[in-house]
Chain A
Amino acid sequence: MHYHSEELVRELSAQAQAFRIQVLEMVYNAQTGHLGGALSIAEVLASLFFHHLRLDPARPDWPDRDRLLFSKGHACAMLYTAMAHRGFFPVEELRTFRQLDSRLQGHPDRVKLPGIEICAGPLGHGIAVGAGMALALKMRGTKPSSFSAPSGRASPARVYTILGDGEINAGVIWEGAMTAAKYHLGNLTAILDYNGTQQTGATADVMPTEPIADKWHAFGWHVQEIHGHNIGQILDALDRADEVHARPSIIIARTTKGKGVSFMEYDHNWHGMPPNEDQYEQALAELQEELKQWQN
């Protein structure tokens, strides 16, 4: 595990908060999009894109890149924001979110936007598709067609997938979980955005998922539970997951849906609703106030 400086933690925390503001503006300007689940995943995405992932924005098809499968595709405003600021495409392009001719489709499109690893929106695919990628990376070296050659080595790249907590209602999540365990996919890490709220209510009411850690343990996964808005905990957990070799790993990140905007937090109505002008102004003021604290 690596040492993470206070400065790094502070920097990434500020970045995550700045992303929240950008996402608020995107959804407000477009008057369409999903805020709640985007706001809850800011710190995880900032940690991945700006510290942990092995990637090169200039080479989105680099064979040895880490793969990030953003399975909770509806929250893509935050994914696009992190990618733009990391250099995958111009930040100004964020203004085209959900408009005609945009590469920033309402849900991520891997064909239109280089750097997107998986089309997502219909939920549940991250683990099973990720397992396929992790299998391929284990099987083959970095050169095309070399996996059967004696000199072929497994790729150093890893596969990460971000899941929503409502998403794990889907059966294929658990089919994929069994498959990843069967094939000992230590190069696969899932991060569960455990924000406790889904489209029509609290996760505990819609479809109870507890005891969540026990479930993943029972499926043969390495399990960590962290505070999902704490950058230090996120970075440590990602490092620990990398050190697990014989089985897949999940980080259960306890988060808050709508994080950072008082009237959106824990309110399922903000799953897919854009704010009006007054709501936008208030949300912006709250997010900016918080950002100042990280910048001081």
Chain B
Amino acid sequence: MAELVSMRKAYGQALVELGKANPDVVVLSADVSNSDHSYMFEEVFPDRFFNVGIAEQCLVDVAVGLAYSGLIPLANTFAFLFATRAVEMVRTHICYGQANVKLMGAYAGLSDSFDGPTHHSVTDVAIMRSLPHMTVVIPSDPLGLAKLLPQAVEWPGPVFFRLNRNEVPVLFDDSYDPKIGEAITLRPGDEVTLICAGLMVSRCLDAAEVLAGEGIGARVLEMHTVKPLDVDSVLQAARETGALVTVEEHSIIGGLGGAVAEAASEAHPVPIKRVGLADKFAETGPYFEMLDRYGMSVEDIAAAARQALAAKKG
């Protein structure tokens, strides 16, 4: 098993580095800074940190005002709150009004597992992805976070940056070089492609290993940017492997699976299986066990790959 490292700590450290590198960066919180670790920025840059209280709509609006004034605000709260309670502010000012705000969606997916479905964020990608001008980025390990976050800040426009709460497997070394908007082939394969993001990348790498043991060559394509989707890489995978499996810590409706299905079905239809949370709420429990229970285990991924492969051979 790979080493586990806290995404929250990695995030706090990355924020501090950003603060040092770019004086225009300001950080806002809706009073969860000790949860998401944005308090680490506050400790170093107290004059550039604003806590608006438990008021997520206000959080987004204040960030908009700062952005319209030329600063680069990183607004912090739980991912589901951006995508539900504050989404009108996101749509009207950030997307329609084109405010250069970066939304730091903490505790995404099922990663706040013990707090239960009220805190799980399983529709955020679908909601954010549907908004014009929005970019959606999901790092899959601490190094991916550290390399993608500065790019999100430099990106010309709003970004929804989806963050995991927990300790996650370390996948990459310094040679890993992600670029927003460009998918990365982490493992070659010709028979089926696992397209994945976030924590599910590590599970897809494990599933590919299982499939290799059965003689099945599974490509693993990390789609750390769900929007703008790297359509070329999706279509290349469709053409070259003829079967796709999308794997995400999100509802199977409208997220990465939806994006890939939209792209492939229009330009190069192939069998597609979507791995993720079915159209339901989960429950309270330990994180990794919950992912297994709700259809996102390594075996679920391998099974979906076998099904897609079978459908291809029809």
Q: Given contacts A118-B93, A118-B97, A179-B52, are A128 and B23 in contact (CB under 8 A)?
A: no
B175: interface (CB < 8 Å) = no
Produce 1/0 per residue, A138-156, CB < 8 A to B. 0110001101110000000
The stretch among B60-68, B166-174, B228-236 that forms the contact with chain A is B60-68
A129 on the B face (CB < 8 A): yes
Chain A residues 247 to 283 lying within 8 A of chain B, measured CB to CB, are: none
Q: Which residues of A sit under 8 angstroms from B92, Cβ to Cβ?
A: 119, 121-122, 125
Q: Given that A172-B58, A175-B52 are contacting pairs, would A144 and B66 also be in contact in the complex, using a CB cutoff of 8 Å?
A: no
Q: With contacts A119-B93, A129-B62, A131-B62 known, what are 18 further pairs, Cβ within 8 A?
A: A111-B98, A122-B88, A122-B92, A125-B61, A128-B58, A129-B65, A131-B65, A132-B62, A133-B66, A136-B66, A136-B69, A136-B71, A140-B71, A148-B48, A178-B58, A179-B53, A179-B62, A183-B50
Cβ < 8 Å to A, chain B residues 57-108: 57-58, 61-71, 73, 88-89, 92-93, 96-98
Interface centre among B53, B69, B73, B97, by most chain A C-beta atoms within 10 angstroms, is B69
- List 11 A-B pairs, Cβ < 8 Å: A117-B68, A118-B93, A125-B93, A135-B50, A139-B48, A139-B71, A148-B23, A148-B48, A172-B58, A176-B62, A178-B53
For residue B69, give the distance in angstroms from its CB to the closest CB of chain A: 3
A37 in the interface (beta carbon within 8 A) = no
CA distance A250 to B160 in the complex (A): 34
> Are B66 and A135 interface neighbours, CB within 8 A?
yes
User: Is there an interface contact between A110 and B53, defined as CB atoms closer than 8 Å?
Assistant: no
Contacts of A132 on B, CB cut-off 8 Å?
61-69, 73
CB of B55 closer than 8 Å to a CB of A? yes
The docked-state distance in angstroms from the alpha carbon of A76 to that of B206 is 58
With an 8 A cutoff between CB atoms, is B24 at the interface? yes
Distance in angstroms between the alpha carbons of A147 and B96 in the assembled complex: 27
| The 10 residue pairs across chains A and B that have the minimum distance between CB atoms | A132-B65, A128-B61, A136-B69, A175-B58, A175-B55, A132-B62, A133-B65, A119-B97, A148-B23, A172-B57
Query: Given the complex of chains A and B, what is the CA–CA distance between A149 and B92 in angstroms?
Result: 33
Please name all residues of chain B whose beta carbon is closer than 8 Å to the beta carbon of A125 when the two chains form the complex. 61, 64, 89, 92-93
For the complex formed, measure the closest distance between the CB of B25 and the CB atoms of chain A, giving whole angstroms: 10
Within A85-129, which residues are at the interface with B (CB < 8 Å)? 109-111, 117-119, 121-122, 124-125, 128-129
Does A172 contact B61, Cβ atoms closer than 8 Å?
yes
B54 closest partner in A (C-beta): A175
Q: Which residues of B contact A140 (CB under 8 A)?
A: 69-71
Q: Which of B47, B58, B64, B70 has the most CB of A within 10 A?
A: B58
Any B CB within 8 A of the CB of A130: yes
**CB within 8 Å for A145 and B62 given contacts A125-B89, A128-B57, A178-B53:** no
Contact in complex: A128, B62 (CB < 8 Å): yes
Q: How distant is the Cα of A128 from the Cα of B61 in the complex, in angstroms?
A: 5
Report if A128-B65 is in contact (Cβ < 8 Å); known contacts: A145-B23, A178-B53, A179-B55.
Answer: yes
Interface residues on chain B, number (Cβ under 8 Å): 30
A208 at the interface (CB under 8 A from B): no
Residues of chain A within 8 A (CB-CB) of B64 are 125, 129, 132
From residue A272, how far is it (CB to closest CB) to chain B in Å?
19
Chain A residue contacts of B24, Cβ below 8 A: 145
Out of B23, B52, B65, name the residue touching A130 (CB < 8 Å). Answer: B65
- Does A55 count as interface, using CB distance less than 8 angstroms? no
Closest to B67 in A: A132
A179 to B30, CA, bound (A): 11
Which residue on A lies nearest to B73, using beta carbons?
A132
In the docked arrangement, what's the CA distance between A121 and B88, Å? 11
Residues of A within 8 A of B65 (CB): 128-136
Interface residues of B in 31-56 (CB under 8 A from A): 47-48, 50, 52-53, 55
Q: Are A175 and B71 in contact (CB under 8 A)?
A: no
Kindly identify, within residues 165 to 197 of chain A, every residue whose CB is under 8 Å from any CB belonging to chain B: 171-172, 175-176, 178-179, 182-183
Q: How far is the CB of B51 from chain A (nearest CB, A)?
A: 9
A144 closest partner in B (C-beta):
B70
B97 touching A179, Cβ below 8 Å = no
Complex: A148 Cα to B70 Cα, angstroms: 13
A122 to B65, CA, bound (A): 16
A12 interface residue per 8 A CB criterion: no
> Given the complex of chains A and B, what is the CA–CA distance between A195 and B72 in angstroms?
37
Query: A118: which B residues are within 8 A, CB to CB?
Result: 68, 93, 97
A260, chain B: closest CB distance, angstroms? 31
User: What separation, in Å, do the CA atoms of A270 and B177 have in the docked complex?
Assistant: 59
Complex-state Cα separation, A79 to B266, whole angstroms: 45
CA distance A139 to B72 in the complex (A): 13
